[in-house]
Copies of this chain bind each other. A is one copy, B any other.
Amino acid sequence: MSGAIEVIATKRDGGELSDDQVRWVLEAYVRGEVAPEQMSALLMAIVWRGLSPAELSAWTSAMVASGTRMDLSGTGRPVVDKHSSGGVGDKVSLVVAPLVAALGVAVPKLSGRGLGHTGGTLDKLESIPGWRADLSTAQFLGQLRSVGAVIASAGADLAPADKQLYALRDVTATVPSIPLIASSIMSKKIAGGADAVLLDVKVGAGAFMPDLDSARLLAQTMVGLGRDAGVRTVCLLTSMEAPLGRAIGNALEVAEAVEVLSGGGPADLREVCLAVATEMLALGGLPQDPGPALADGRALEVWRRMVDAQGGDPGAALPSAPLVEVVEAPRSGHLVRLDALAVGTAAWRLGAGRARKEDSVDPAAGVVLGASLGERVEAGQPLLTLHASSRERIADGRAALDGSYDISDEPQPLAPLVLEKVG
């Protein structure tokens, strides 16, 4: 108790904590010896004062050490994990996991569920009839060996200190801190046991990191933590001003991911998937162009095996919404702005996302774009199509889309999607 006061006071006054202090305070918190009110005061002091690289490294190690680190050494191939900071329409993991597995790199992705306006990868996959996210460790390792790709829910023993801390940060307004965000993400990735990690940090109005400077700092911080833990880590910064692809919503996004895996799909989504897959293949020591594996069906074949291995039927029809409403383009011109946050919020209100952890999601709900950013639209063509289960939700979703786009006479140059690479 008095040890905790000293730790909090040191951080409050801008001092540096020793490795022992960092390890002690996290362990004692998990054991219940440091009270939640003490940890939350420390967290706010960290939001204020930050963590030095040495403190952050010790903090992250202690989070990893609070649970078990997965042993993936028997996989028989290079093992590369992937994490995205979350964006609107971000179904990249669904594409790249089978894609790079088809090319020899194993992908062991432990994932969470979505909260708020960005969807969760597990929620998307659960729209496939029969598919289940919960695997035993033996099932997980078996599928990684046999299929080469697994996306499953993280077990309770993966950095449990992070789970406890995150719940506390959530109710004490101590989420927005780059070192705390970096250690939360990287402790789970390090505990996940991969040889290397590709991080995709989204930047822009629809992302957790609104500006490039913060996103770059987060990326550098995570890459440093990977290095400290002996996990090769590369981070791409990718744009999230407009939604990625044209489908936003769980089943809608799975269908679009399958389009990309079949060699088609929207150009922006393809571009990000190929950039991520290229980095993952390089990290796995098998550098090559992943494009052909989309065109020739190898990636799609791994996708089918991956879905099947987790109880899903890759050929089954995906759920569809009873109500569909079209918002037409009010004029002709070029679609020069389409606000990712507004579209994400609309999809959430339509039922695709959850406000609280306990909520369930509507697998069929969401938004489909009639045009991608930069394209020409004609007055009266479908611009946004809303999918939901009730009139109320349609109305809520529509309200969120008010003022979400601009159509201009003049085309505007498209900004690049992949902004920077760190690490």
List the number of copies, as a whole number. 2
Residues of chain B lying within 8 A (CB to CB) of residue A36 = 35-37
CB-CB contacts of A1-20 with B at 8 A, as 1s and 0s?
Answer: 10011101100100000000
Min CB distance, A128 to chain B, in Å?
Answer: 33
From B6, B8, B173, A8 is in contact (CB under 8 Å) with B173
Which stretch (A40-48, A325-333, A339-347, A413-421) binds chain B?
A40-48
- Asked if A5 meets B173 with Cβ closer than 8 Å, knowing A44-B12, A47-B12, the reply is yes
- Asked if A1 meets B44 with Cβ closer than 8 Å, knowing A37-B36, A37-B37, A37-B39, the reply is no
From B35, B45, B171, A44 is in contact (CB under 8 Å) with B45
**A38 within 8 Å of B by Cβ?**
yes
- Asked if A35 meets B171 with Cβ closer than 8 Å, knowing A40-B40, A41-B41, A41-B44, the reply is yes
From B5, B47, B171, A38 is in contact (CB under 8 Å) with B171
Bound Cα distance from A35 to B35, whole angstroms: 12
Residues of chain B lying within 8 A (CB to CB) of residue A43 = 41
Bound Cα distance from A1 to B45, whole angstroms: 21
**Smallest CB gap from A11: residue in B:** B173
- Asked if A172 meets B5 with Cβ closer than 8 Å, knowing A40-B40, A41-B40, the reply is yes
For the side of the interface on A, what is the size category?
20 to 34
**A61 within 8 Å of B by Cβ?**
no
**B173, A12: Cβ atoms under 8 Å?**
yes
Residues of chain B lying within 8 A (CB to CB) of residue A39 = 37
Bound Cα distance from A40 to B45, whole angstroms: 11
A residues 146-183 with Cβ under 8 Å of B?
Answer: 168, 171-174
Bound Cα distance from A40 to B6, whole angstroms: 15
Residues of chain B lying within 8 A (CB to CB) of residue A1 = 171
From B41, B171, B173, A174 is in contact (CB under 8 Å) with B41
Bound Cα distance from A247 to B71, whole angstroms: 68
Min CB distance, A207 to chain B, in Å?
Answer: 18
From B5, B48, B172, A171 is in contact (CB under 8 Å) with B5
Bound Cα distance from A12 to B4, whole angstroms: 22
**A38, B172: Cβ atoms under 8 Å?**
yes
Min CB distance, A4 to chain B, in Å?
Answer: 8
Residues of chain B lying within 8 A (CB to CB) of residue A40 = 37-38, 40-41, 44, 172
**Smallest CB gap from A47: residue in B:** B12
Bound Cα distance from A47 to B41, whole angstroms: 10
**Smallest CB gap from A34: residue in B:** B171
Most buried by B among A5, A6, A35, A40: A40
A-B contact pairs, 15 of them (CB 8 A): A1-B171, A5-B173, A8-B44, A8-B172, A12-B44, A36-B36, A36-B37, A37-B40, A37-B168, A38-B172, A40-B44, A41-B43, A41-B44, A44-B44, A45-B48
Give the interface of A toward B (CB within 8 A). 1, 4-6, 8-9, 12, 35-41, 43-45, 47-48, 168, 171-174
Beyond known contacts A12-B174, A38-B171, A40-B41: 18 more, CB 8 A cutoff: A1-B171, A5-B172, A8-B172, A9-B173, A35-B36, A35-B37, A37-B39, A37-B168, A38-B40, A38-B172, A40-B172, A41-B43, A41-B44, A41-B172, A44-B44, A44-B48, A45-B48, A48-B48
